A and B are shown apart, each in its own frame.
Chain A
Amino acid sequence: MLFPPPKRNSPTAQPHRVVVTGAGIVTALGLGWQVNAEGFRAGRAAFRPVTLFDVSRQRARIAAEVDLPAELPPTQLSANTLRRLDRATRMLLQAAHEAWTQAGWAPSDNLPVVLGTTSGEMALGEKYLQQAITTPLQRRQQATRIVHYQVQQQGLDLCSAFGFQGPLTNISNACASGANAIGHAWEMLRFGRAEKVLTGGYDTLCQLTFAGFDSLQALSPAPCRPFDAHRDGLTLGEGAAILTLETLEHAQKRGAEILGEIIGYGAATDTHHLTQPHPEGNAALAAMTAACASANVSPAQIDYVNAHGTATPHNDATEAAAINRWAGDCASALRVSSTKATCGHLLGAAGAAEAVVCLMALRGQWLPPQTTAGTTDPACHFPIVREAVAANIETALSNSFGFGGANATLIFRRWS
């Protein structure tokens, strides 16, 4: 039953510790942990001209597109289903297979799946509308497009592919969706609602979103430069990232290899404006503070911040203000970077992909640099990581902020 819970928790009950036992990632850097770890560690930018749709009449024309292989990992999907799989689902299956295989999980009757996305497979929705307008009496393929563009369909295909029975929860909190999904999964485990959860985020590039950000003049014509004094906008990307989360007891009982621990999550809503954050970063500060409170750590105990850092003038100024306020005197020693300089802004997948980057950094003991950074905005009271460096880091904090004022923060701890 989803309610009441098997055992009602009280705030005083000892919450479970939650660990990550598998991680899968697909970005423009490539498929899988290894190639992405190499790319993020080097700060290798993965931008190129957009080929998925026409951008000739847009101000910006680059993005971080994923080269998806034709082959999929082995699944239980029928040939018919495989033939109809959309781009978003294909990315999701690649990432989920990597995570699930790494975790060594077996198909389960009751494996909660919590995903974040902003728009599912919107490219199919676009095709539906185009055909509905241009040839309104032509219905061919329209039903398939309607089914497969919907957010729930990608999750259902994921469950069918690997034999999961759900429940399936889709959180669409704009660009914080992936972080909110992981945070929600973390809470489910922490409060005893499940022993393991598959979670993460995904989003694909599509014309509607690209044109939307361009209409707001939020896209940069050149690769984005987070926290740069001369930044002029974000660069979009696409991808998927999936984590297998378990309670520590469950993971240890089955002898699983642990990649890291999630120790904190905080979320808050910024009511200042639908797209512009509060200038002083009130909600960002609230999310970071709440995450620290749930993790029982202070800012001084955070070794690295993976910033939301979209490179829009508004976001970075606000986030810098929030980090300055949150870190206080510790800010000057805090190491911060935005990996959107490497793989672009993955929207609903951003929080999940950046969670995987944090795990990579904690596992490998290095800091992901943003090699495109030039002159740091003086609003930043903290140093930006500009070069690939080895580092001793025990904890990492990841911020994700989205339209509608959705703010989410996750905190990770090295497993040793």
Chain B
Amino acid sequence: MSRIFVHGLGAVSPAGWGVEKLSAALEQREPIAAQNLARPGWEKPLRVRNVPPPETRPTFFAHPRLRRAGAITQHTVAAALEALGDDAALIQSGARRLGIVTCMMSGSVAYSRRFYEEVLREPAMASPLVFPETVFNAPASHLAAYLGTNGTGYTLVGDDGTFLQGLAVAADWLLNDQADGVVVVGAEESDWLVADAMRLFQRNAIHGAGAGALYLRREKSATAGAELSAVTDSFLFTQTQNRSAAARKMRAQLPAGAPDELLCLGAQNLARPDAAEALAWRDWAGDRRAAKTVLGEAFLASVAWQCVAACADLARSRFSAANISVVGANQQAIGARFLACAKAVSVTGSAPETVDLF
């Protein structure tokens, strides 16, 4: 019986570049300081949580395909490469088949806005260099080009929960032997257009940006720090199913939880958008964490951070299991569950060959 393990983690967030910075920020539970972002036509700036510049310039920035790439691509590639670790070389050499699943909601919004502004000014002069970067799958394409891999790549677009759908797609590819490993990335970038739009729905929400990545592989027994145990059904918000009902059904598909388990919520500390999720998990006995309250609302990147931080904690044996809860912006409620390898082993009764902490 093959199982799906998390072999690597990667993150770019307002806390900085790397999983360590993400984990440290979430550990402190203190909101990252927000920055001003000018909004054309307004005197008052918008408040956002941007990704700080990297302390050292990543070498991949110099790759020919990445010179003009936008922030969302830089976030995607950085998170994916961190997650792939040493396996990146195996993929580049062709020794390992990689599948790529990138997930986003807003996508390459900065280049899209820039290009359309050029079209409005003078369509005949709009930049042919910018337009191709506006497509949703540009980040996945650049990542594949950097790694030199021609395997299957999907870009999934939807609300926050789409990242967990991406994990399920990746797991299917692995179980069906369509890839040796799959990197799943949730990514967003910052732009005044998105921050402006968010204010229409959540006036006090602060837009964040970045990416999170999980590198999954299929194994027969535990060889890494965390195992993907479950992704619930996706419960849509439709005319006949509101957010609360969808959240309740998602909750019902995950185990009740124990005191030594972690719950990673999508909450933002905003009463109205958090209500359905809070109600669904009101009886949770274990520890709780909410990445968005520290890092801001970064849609699919936020959910990726929830998963990355949870898996990092599981790898450090701080918890035995972690539930991920997503009650998304406007599409679905969906959840996932990861197990620490120690627990995964005790469930199956087989001894691990090795246990790496990523």
Contact = CB atoms under 8 A, between A and B. Distances in A.
Interface of A: 1-5, 8-9, 11, 57-59, 76-78, 81, 110, 118, 120, 125-126, 128-130, 132-133, 136-137, 139, 142-143, 146-147, 150-153, 156, 159-160, 163, 165-174, 180, 184, 187-188, 191, 193, 207-208, 211-217, 267-271, 274-275, 282-283, 286, 402-406
Given A142-B200, A180-B154, A271 B132 contact: no
B58 interface: no
Given A132-B41, A274-B132, 4 more contacts: A207-B119, A215-B123, A271-B149, A404-B141
A212 B233 contact: no
Contacts of B4: 3
Given A2-B233, A404-B137, A152 B331 contact: yes
A267 B101 CA distance: 13
B251 to A, nearest CB: 14
B141 A57 contact: no
B193 A5 contact: no
Contacts of A142: 197, 200
B248 interface: no
A271 B334 CA distance: 33
B177 interface: yes
Which of A128, A130, A274 has the largest count of B CB atoms less than 10 A from its CB?
A274
B154 A215 contact: no
B231 A170 contact: no
Contact of B176 (A3, A9, A208): A9
B231 A156 contact: no
A152 B158 contact: yes
Contacts of B340: none
Nearest to B253: A1
A171 B165 CA distance: 11
A2 B151 contact: no
Interface of B: 1-2, 4, 39-42, 65, 100, 105, 107, 112-113, 115-117, 119-120, 122-124, 126-128, 131-138, 140-142, 144-145, 148-159, 162, 164-165, 167-169, 171-172, 175-177, 193, 196-197, 200-201, 228, 230-241, 253, 330-332, 334
A160 B241 CA distance: 9
Nearest to A143: B200
A406 B41 contact: no
Contacts of A211: 115, 119, 123, 126, 131
A133 B41 contact: yes
Contact of B144 (A187, A193, A269, A282): A269
Given A268-B152, A274-B141, A167 B123 contact: no
Given A58-B123, A402-B137, A146 B142 contact: no
B141 A269 contact: yes
